[in-house]
Structure 1
Amino acid sequence: MNRIRIAALAGLLLLAAGCSAPPEEAEDGYQVYYSALEDRYAQQALASEPYGSAPPEEPIPDLVAALLDGPDSPGLTSPFPDGVRLLGWELADGVLHLDLSEQYGGLSGVNLTVADACLTLTLCQVEGVDAVYVTVEGREIPYRPVQALTPEELFLSDGRDAPASVTLPFWYPRADGTGLAAETRELAAGDTLLQDVLTSWADGPSGQELKAALPQGAEVRSVTLEDGLCTVDLSQAFLDGLPADSGQARLAVYALVNTLAGVEGVEQVQLLVEGAALGQPLSPDQSLAAPNQAP
């Protein structure tokens, strides 16, 4: 994909979002894309600056290094967390596979979108690179719906056909131990919705009549959705911290299952603990709700 087309596609994203296009590319040489989000006066999410004063000797590793080193231009910032390193790369059949260090896996939401966009726009200028496939320590980011990223897939939809937010039930055990109840929350719709639901649910309920269900110290290691099955991998602290009473432990588990099942496309939930299945996939059970508490 040539560099002129890259600039045009980037402009489509920014115009669709009501923003101005990034700086035009120089006739010769590469442009390196960075985030413009931290500039309160910026009219665009991304902008670019030319790569150095001479073309890179090795375009792919050198451009990645420039991305990770950060920009020189005022108003631009690196979208990458501190410490991100390129562990390896391979170009085959037009797909550039980049393997990055674990810090990249901490990105989500708009931060992940911007980082992915900077990598894709910068590296798809290289002759023979049509798509960028990013892994973290050899693993895909599970909540990214598209793994092989192209400028078209990133930018040719302005999102007007998708809801900006969704209202979902968040289930928790009642403080008096009589069952489950739900409170509703509004979250931004997007590629990381499942991860965002888990993060918000882990914060616990807002009212005193409900209690948190995630044991102290427990962490969500990953979440994926495929063919209606949502798979959640939890740390050992989840299993260790469940109530000793089997009935209360069941409420804690179904508080999580019912919450995830509120997301469109989730039919069953498979819980894992450190990668090992915790029983069979579970379907939501709203019969556990206390009277008059089902949403």
Structure 2
Amino acid sequence: MKNKTHENRISIRLLPAAVLVLLAAVFLLSGCGRHRNEIQPESISYSLYFLNSSMDGLEPRPYTPDVSDADTEGLILEFMAQIKQAPQEKDLNPLLPEDCKILDYSLDNGALTLNCSSAYSSMESSRELLTRAGIVRTFLQIDGIDCVQITIEGSSLKNASGSEVGFMTNNSFVENAGKTINSYKSVTMTLYFADETGTMLKQETRTVYYSTNEPLERAVIEELIKGPEQDGDYAVLPATTDILSVLTQDNVCYVNFDSSVSNSVLNLKAELPFYAIVNSLADTCETRKVQFTIDGKSDILYRNTVDLSEPFSRNADLIENNSDDPASVSGQSLLSG
């Protein structure tokens, strides 16, 4: 009897320990399972930009910051320091000249202003444009920064024509996707968008930096696809429009769209998108005629109305308030064909 009681006492004492071990094992297993299934936030990929050996192009290189993606101020300061650093590759050059510094910065509602020393002005225009593009692309990678402005000792940066550059985004630098960034040129484009009725064209002027990797004519059409910037102007091409190719020969521009252009739901007069392109190319690139194709075919009656088999010429009659249009006054307005 005594032994039996002792055995029971041992069992009672051991049971809590066994339960604790079992619970600990369950906890560890559940904890490991939770760790395996936990969705980790994706880290952002960053690049630093450098000038190539011939100083006529930009070269991106992967970069891992020391601070977290959420540390906006830390990323700004780190990128400011890295822009000045000499790259590890001998055939690359830093964006800023050795004697140029970013003195300070300010960030206001997503608008970043970088204030540079006076040495920034000593750069040749070709290098300055590339440096500007590299700086803008660098800082726009930071979450919370929507546009970038460069000032010199507190004064606005001006381009070669003397106009203030102002705030820039990635859209300020047009380039052909898939090609290495080469050199940029500044061009003032005369673009045409729809009025509120969808029957007339309204003129809009904007200055764009485009890559010389692509023809200017393509850059013009890409700006039309981006849409208008002025109030009261409306898009003439869907944002999903895909340009297959743009080729110019003997002042005739050959534009080939994919079939998505036929699926436009924009409430426009059928021929308006085509004349928006033609007039924009004529005024910006001095293009005389434009031949349109869709998936390489021109024997198409767009919306059962617009014949694409013949080239289009500039049409000033569709321009709102065209009495001030020089082509209209000189009698150069032509219909398609």
Greater helix percent: which structure?
2
Q: Report TM bin, short chain.
A: 0.3 to 0.5
Task: Name the larger-Rg structure.
Answer: 2
Relative contact order, higher structure (CA 8 A, sep 6+) = 1
Normalized against structure 2, the TM-score is what?
0.41
